[in-house]
Amino acid sequence: MYTGNIGVDKVNRQYYSYYYIEGTTDYIFGNSTVIFDNCVIHSKMNKSFITAASTTQEQQYGLVFRRCRLTAEANVTSVGNMGIL
C-alpha cells in the first residue's frame, strides 16, 4: 500500500498492483511506462488533475490503468480528469 505521489520520472517500466494512491493535483506523474492494476486512485481536492504524464512520442505506452477504481473525499464533488486532453 502506498499513499502519496507516484513520481515516475525515469524512463523505465513499473508495475503497481493493489496499491492505494491518493493526492491533490498531478499526483501520478512522469515519463515511465507504468501499469496500475487493481489500484484505488483517491482524489482529495475538487477539480484537480490526477495525472501529468510526460511520455515521449517514441514511447509506445505511458500510464496504463487496468481495473482501477477512482474514489474521492466526501467533500469532493468534481475531479478534473486523468490529465488526458
Please tell me the distance from the alpha carbon of residue 68 to that of residue 62, in angstroms, as a whole number: 16
Model pLDDT, residue 1 = 38
Torsion angle of C-alpha atoms 41, 80, 53, 30, degrees rounded to 10: -60
Task: Considering the candidates 20, 25, 26, 37, report the single residue annotated as catalytic.
Answer: 26
> How buried is residue 2: exposed, middle or buried, by Cβ count under 10 Å (0-12/13-18/19+)?
exposed
The pLDDT tens digits for 9-38 are 556 788 999 999 999 888 888 888 899 999
Range of lowest pLDDT (2-6, 33-37, 45-49, 58-62): 2-6
**Domain boundaries along the sequence of the chain:** 6-72
Residue 9's pLDDT is 57
Q: Is 37 a catalytic residue?
A: no
* 79 phi/psi in degrees, rounded to 5: -105, 135
What integer pLDDT is reported at residue 27 of this predicted model? Answer: 87
Q: How far apart are CA 55 and CA 37, in angstroms?
A: 19
